[in-house]
Amino acid sequence: MLDYDEEAERYDAMRGGEPRAAAAAEAVLGLLPPDAARPSHAARLLDVACGTGIVTRRLAAGRPGLRVTGVDLSPAMARQAAARLPGTIVRADSRRLPFPDGVFDAVTSVWLLHLVEDEGDARRIVAECARVLRPGGVYVTTVDKGASHNVGSDIDVVLASRPHRPASDAEALVEGYAADRGLLPAGRARFPGRGQGRSPRRAITDLRRGWFVTLPPGHPLADDFAARLAALPDQERPRPEPEFTLRAFRKPAD
């Protein structure tokens, strides 16, 4: 897995920056209750694994009256987020959130569950998100993140034979994690990964820096895949952008 303290300074630039953040925030907000006058209006939102806060800030700005709190485990990521949203960022483990039960109207975890290697940890994260969510509140999370990057390009053909591990954010699994905590399906949305269409040269860079967790730097097969990527045409041309999927789940009202 990438070292997110090392990644913090270049994280946004390497992942589509503000255009991708805007697309993510718009899709997330679209799954939250829209009417501020309704009792179900999301007035307080927790963004779990908020990273640099680039999406968190847009969530806060995109809905009048929405109070947003972000949490992230990486000190460097949390510092970046705190610079964007002073006084609203907490450094915390998403498996043990430092909040009482039922205090948030909405909880989000964007691009988190795919990073979790242990299915038990993924279950614990969803359980914690459900615990701090009030009855009637909404939990929104990305699913199938790794699969979203397979856009059918020549890069994907080369990488198809690389080692794989089971995806902890597979949609069916996440539905199960949510159901175990009494959360009910409440919507689905897709949004584009702006600026994330990979070129062969970008794919080689990602490979060298440990992006592909089953081919970490130094893996015996890494050089072979790098050579095959280097043989592709149009080394600098980005291939199509991925499309990410969000699922929303509602905690039943008492």
Q: Which residue has the tokens 């039943």?
A: 252
pLDDT digits (tens, 9 = 90+) for 74-110: 999 899 999 999 999 999 999 999 999 999 999 999 9
> What's the mean pLDDT in 181-206?
94
For the sheet with 89-91, list strands across it: 89-91, 67-72, 44-48, 104-109, 133-143, 243-250, 184-192
> What is the residue-averaged pLDDT of the chain?
90
Tokens of 244: 């990410």
> What's the mean pLDDT in 185-195?
94
Distance, CA of 108 to CA of 159 (rounded, Å): 30
Q: Where are the beta strands (DSSP E) in the chain?
A: 44-48, 67-72, 89-91, 104-109, 133-143, 184-192, 243-250
Tokens of 48: 């779990």
Distance, CA of 213 to CA of 193 (rounded, Å): 20
Tokens of 254: 């008492």
What pLDDT, on the 0 to 100 scale, is given for residue 235? 98
Distance, CA of 47 to CA of 107 (rounded, Å): 6
Distance, CA of 26 to CA of 2 (rounded, Å): 27
Q: Which residue type, as a one-letter code, is found at position 157?
A: V
Q: Is the pLDDT of residue 38 over 90?
A: no
| Nearest CA among 47, 233, 202 for reference residue 139 | 47
